[in-house]
Amino acid sequence: MKEFLSHHGVAYTEKLVDQDEEALEELFRRASMRATPVIFIGEEKVVGFDRAKLQELLGLAA
């Protein structure tokens, strides 16, 4: 997912939930899960690497 975002020039903040308890709690609060990867685009949640959904939400050509 990081490569995809970087390739398209999308800025992101990586949070390492296995090393940061606050980040893990934020993930659980926002996504009601503790699975990764999860990306938030606004309030939209994308679980796993869903290329089509990311392209749609980011307005990228398929």
User: What is the residue extent of each domain of the chain?
Assistant: 2-58
What is the reported pLDDT for 35?
83
Tell whether omega for the bond before 37 is within 30 degrees of 0, i.e. cis.
yes
Residue 4 to residue 50: CA distance in whole angstroms: 11
CATH superfamily of 2-58: Glutaredoxin (3.40.30.10)
Burial bucket for residue 39 (CB in 10 Å: 0-12, 13-18, 19+): buried
What is the reported pLDDT for 58?
96
User: From residue 57, how far is each of 43, 45, 49, 52 by CA, in Å?
Assistant: 11, 10, 13, 9
- pLDDT by position in tens, the chain (length 62): 999 999 999 999 999 999 999 999 999 999 998 888 999 999 999 999 999 999 999 999 86
What is the reported pLDDT for 23?
95
